[in-house]
Amino acid sequence: MRTGNPIKRRKQRDIAKDRVLYAFNYLFLLLIFIIVGYPLLIVVSNSLSSPEAVTGGKVWLLPVDFSLEGYQAVFQDKSIVSGFRNSFFYMIVGTAINMVVTTLCAYPLSIKTLPGRRWFMLLFSFTMFFSGGMIPTYLLIYKLGMINTVWSMILPGAISVWNMILMRTYFMNSVPGDIREAAIIDGCSDFRYLVKILIPLSVPIMAVLVLYYAVGHWNSYFNALLYLRDTDLYPLQMVLRNILIMNNASMDMLASDPEAMSLRIKMIDLVKYSVIVVASLPLVILYPFIQKYFVQGIMVGSLKG
């Protein structure tokens, strides 16, 4: 730092105006930090408090009368457990199909010499801005016999054109086209090139898209609301909708004898907080693993190709 570089020295002692700006900036960010963080903290604290503290509205910062009763009730509930299982299935199988279909679309469309490439792009892009609508889609799913099947949760959104364009842009901008030419001249097939060379070179965008798709599957409820009748097939979000929004606690939680029932009714708000935490946890755990690719993947994908 003692190089005598005028810029560095200047940077070290800010001019007075800048100090005011920096001070306000820190205050502003601190405020944002609190606004975003406090509600999250309140949820976690409530979920770890006693039922009485929650129903009394006594939790303002940290857990009051620490207890794990809420979590116990959550994991005893059959509908929540089955929702978890279903959601994991939809998320894993759905994301796998998403990635395969998206890659099979993005790779050919990233090759500049592909005949009719512009037309294909137009065909795909158009669906981003225009759709047939909710009812015709529902009627189609009905005609295909997919109502009340797992397929209705996985196939209709198999490709997100937006994500496909992100991947295609990444292929075009971050992977040198010479590699493909050399590989093809050496007799490598397109499939082989895609699997052995291109995908390993594109880990950041793959990671980001896996995250996008996985979050989409885990968090969606509306397709299930439209297409599923059978509660055994319900994803977690539909179960949550019953508990959090419709205020229908399931049968397991409200036991039949009146004494237990009044106890359970006291529990319901605590259970709500606990279930919020439990339902959000899988993605919060997934996020740090993918975070390091985030900026890279989003940045490159957002450049126009």
Partner 1 sequence: MKTAVSPQAISVGNGAKRKLRVRLKLHYQLFIMLLVPLAFILVFAYAPMVGAVIAFKNYNFNLGIWDSEWVGLQNFIRFVRYPRFWNLIQNTLVISVYSLVAGFPMPIILALSLNCVRNRYFKKSVQMLTYLPYFISTVVLCGMLFQFFNPRIGFLGQLISRSRGQLTDIFLNAKSFPHIMVWSGIWQGMGFSSILYISILASVSPELHEAAIIDGASRFQRILHIDFPALLPTATIMLIMSMGGILNTGFEKILLLQNNGNTIYSEVIDTYVYKVGMTATIPDQGYATAIGLFKSVIGFILLLVVNGIAARVSENSLW
User: Which 203-262 residues touch partner 1, going by CB under 8 A?
Assistant: 215, 218-222, 226, 237, 240-241, 243-245
How many residues bind to partner 1 according to rule CB under 8 A?
97
Residue with smaller CB distance to partner 1, 1 or 35: 35
Gap between the Cα atoms of 93 and 285, Å rounded: 19
* CB contact at 8 A, 236 and 86: yes
Residue with smaller CB distance to partner 1, 258 or 304: 304
Contacting partner 1 (CB under 8 A), which of 72, 76, 131, 248? 131
- In the chain the first and final C-alpha atoms are separated, in Å, by 41
CA dist 240 to 185, 224, 289, Å? 55, 12, 26
Residue with smaller CB distance to partner 1, 130 or 256: 130
Supply the minimum distance, in Å, between the C-beta of residue 230 and partner 1: 17
Supply the minimum distance, in Å, between the C-beta of residue 237 and partner 1: 5
- Annotate 50-103 with DSSP letters as a single string: -HHHHHTT--SSS-SS---HHHHHHHH-HHHHHHHHHHHHHHHHHHHHHHHHHH
**247 φ/ψ sector (left φ>0, alpha ψ -120 to 50, else beta):** left
Q: Where are the beta strands (DSSP E) in the chain?
A: none
Supply the minimum distance, in Å, between the C-beta of residue 173 and partner 1: 13
Contacting partner 1 (CB under 8 A), which of 80, 109, 206, 249? 109
CA dist 80 to 232, 240, 247, 274, Å? 11, 8, 14, 12
Contacting partner 1 (CB under 8 A), which of 88, 89, 138, 151? 138
Stretch of 74-82, 197-205, 257-265, 281-289 lying at the interface with partner 1 (CB under 8 A): 281-289
Residues 19-38 that bind partner 1 (CB under 8 A): 21-22, 25-26, 28-29, 32-33, 35-37
Output the six-digit token pair for 135: 């009812």
Residues 155-194 that bind partner 1 (CB under 8 A): 155-159, 161, 164, 189-191, 194
Contacting partner 1 (CB under 8 A), which of 50, 86, 95, 102? 102
- Residue 305's SS3 state is coil
**65 φ/ψ sector (left φ>0, alpha ψ -120 to 50, else beta):** left
Q: How many CA atoms lie within 13 A of 18 on its CB side?
A: 6
Output the six-digit token pair for 137: 């889609």
Residues 49-68 that bind partner 1 (CB under 8 A): 54-57, 60
Contacting partner 1 (CB under 8 A), which of 71, 107, 170, 234? 107
* CB contact at 8 A, 94 and 224: no
- The residue type found at 140 is L
Contacting partner 1 (CB under 8 A), which of 63, 88, 93, 137? 137
Residue with smaller CB distance to partner 1, 10 or 196: 10
Q: Is 101 in the site for partner 1 (CB under 8 A)?
A: yes
